[in-house]
Amino acid sequence: SYNFPFQPYDIQFEFMKNLYQVIERGKVGIFESPTGTVHNEERYEIVEYSSNTRMETNEELARKQELNERIQKIREKEKLERQKASCQTVDDYDMEEYLVEEYHSDDETENHEENDNISLQKAKSLENFDNDKETRKQDEEEPDEIKIFYCSRTHSQLTQFVNELRKTVYAEDVKCVSLGSRKNLCINDEVSKLKSMNRINEKCLDMQKAGIDKIKNDFVTASVRDIEELADIGRELGACPYYGTRKSIRRCQIVTLPYSLLLQKSSRESMKILLKDNIVIIDEVHNLVDTVTSVHTIIIDLPQIVNVRSQLNAYLDRYKKRLLGKNVMYIQQILSLLDALIRCLTAFEKKCEEKGKDKERMNYIKTVNDFLHILKIGDLNLFKIENYLKKSQVARKLNGFVDKIESRTSVEIHQMQQTKTFLMSLTNGNQDGRVILGFQQIIDPIEGKREMTIKYIPYIKYLLLNPSSQFEDIVEEVRRVILAGEQLFPYLPTLKSSKFSCGHIVPPENLLTLTLSEGPIGGTFEFTFERHDNIKLIDELGQTIINLCNVIPDGVQVHDRWKQNGVLERIKKRKMVFQEPRETQLVEKVLKQYDLHIHSSNNKDGALLLCVVSGKM
């Protein structure tokens, strides 16, 4: 038994059986089904598996019992009102904080880190991230649960998943956390009011240096919650839900997260998401290839590179005598790389102008190796520069430094991060992508005139062509990967994956499809745009619905003229009418009311549901 909260169809049992087998034996599973078929089985499998695969020692059981007692107290406490704590404000910081820490790179094994003396700046950072040393020790001792990472495209889909988890018999016991971006979880008005995602990230990182209150693990895992509920709890407690959820990952059995947090290695590292020996389930996987390609495709233009180079040079001038280790060398190498990009784009622009070519249609496509040859940077080790960019956090330090010395827009803040991402993309395999040189059109209004100026800015774009190269490390790390969605075959070789494909969960004997070509009065049902305001056609459709309601015993779904001519009132006499709500959060409520009315012993006439084609339902 898989403990469905309803009587399942045979095809759902088959789905669960195959899914369980893949998790136990296979490495990659591909599950293909029509829209809507896969989701519920998938959700019940997740809690079923996470509840049945945990083998615990006596020590772990004792720790779990103590943890559950704490969680139970919180569940009881949540019924009472809590006084809101005010969010801490932040003072200005000294320019010292933007100094890059001492950096060495020659030791490729990186074992030297444990023996190095911790700099004053690093010590301050560690203290600021978590002032309570005892709490940090407890976090490290927290047992790391076997996890199922459930990933989907949007937060609304993840919210639906969480709602399904609540219906299962495991809702009280399973520990689940929903991960999101700062934009989704930030409760500080000073930060959340910022429109740019990059500006939000930078502001948050600055503010946390003064110390932040995080939602305690127990509050996060006390109940199965979605993103909106976690944000509400944060406001109620005056504590940060973003860092609270990150801190709770270790103890959770189920972690829900959007594509962006799973597919980018930098995001996984930032969130401390460890996939090794865990299970990853990716829903809506028919969107996966496009998403991976989009996430790893980056474009930077000439003014942006010039601006970043100027800022980095100013940073080096300011801190040159105080930078330790090989920081100066690597910053100079980055400056040399930026100079090479500037020369390349300038020469490209000049060449197009000399030949009188149409800039709008001008594109050069190069392999990564050919592009690097054009740059003439053979003396630079891009892999070491990539490592430096990752570990030194020079991009974030530079942003903070420039913020202190000049006023910038959110677009300018994004420039250093974009440039860093582009430079790191140049270390990808030669066959995995292409570098494109082209021009983008910029239209600016002329002040005081009703005219526009058009100019063309040269840019460089890295286009990812082989998404598998970015997905490979996920597959290699995890214990199992489940890919679920529509129209998936063929994607992977037969030998490397288990495949399951099914039709719709409704059996053929439960489905009858009929097409009506005309109404009861004899009018032709031709629903074209030209006839969308044909009153007679709409009236005849309404009369058809009335006739159908007279013969269909239970539910009717219809994908305001009827209010005016009385058709809707006549339908209401035969069946209770429900309508698709405008607010997404009310959809579940309306569907439940519709279902309850149909199955109520007091209502034998059934119900009718009015909904929009390709709408929320």
The candidate with the shortest Cα–Cα distance to 310, out of 276, 284, 278, 342, is: 342
The pLDDT score that the predictor gives to residue 454 is 80
| 18 in Cβ contact with 482 (< 8 Å) | no
2 and 150 inside one domain: yes
Residue 112 included in any domain: no
Tokens at 418, concatenated = 């974009």
353 lies in the same domain as 232 = no
Can you give the pLDDT at residue 365?
93
Shared domain check, 235 and 271: no
Same domain, 331 and 437: yes
Residue 135's SS3 state is: helix
Q: Each residue of 69-98: pLDDT tens digit?
A: 665 565 565 544 433 333 333 333 455 656
**DSSP β-ladder status, 176-178 and 298-301:** unpaired
Instruction: Return the amino acid letter for 259.
Output: Y
CB 424 within 8 A of CB 386: yes
Q: What was the pLDDT predicted at 307?
A: 92
Q: What is the pLDDT of residue 332?
A: 93
pLDDT of residue 33: 72
Residue whose C-alpha is closest to residue 305's, from 444, 131, 403, 421: 421
CA atoms within 13 A on the CB side of 229: 18
**CATH code for position 7:** 3.40.50.300
Q: For 519-606, where are the E strands, in sequence order?
A: 555-558, 576-579
Residue 450 lies in a domain: yes
Stretches where the chain sits below pLDDT 70 are 1-5, 26, 34-144, 195-196, 209-222, 405-414, 450, 487-497, 504-505, 559-565, 585, 601, 603, 612-617
Q: What integer pLDDT is reported at residue 375 of this predicted model?
A: 93
The answer to whether residue 136 is domain-embedded is no
pLDDT at 150: 92
- Looking at residue 146, its pLDDT comes to 83
Tens of pLDDT along 44-53? 555 555 555 5
Closest CA relative to residue 45, chosen from 131, 136, 165? 165
Q: Is 351 inside any structural domain?
A: yes
User: Do 343 and 436 share a domain, yes or no?
Assistant: yes
- SS3 of residue 473 by DSSP: helix
DSSP result, 295-344:
HT-EEEEHHHHHHHHHHHHHHHHHHTTT--BTHHHHHHHHHHHHHHHHHH
User: Are 33 and 150 in the same domain?
Assistant: yes
Q: What range does the domain containing 375 cover?
A: 298-466
Q: What integer pLDDT is reported at residue 47 of this predicted model?
A: 54
Structural domains in the chain (count): 4
The pTM assigned to this predicted structure is 0.67
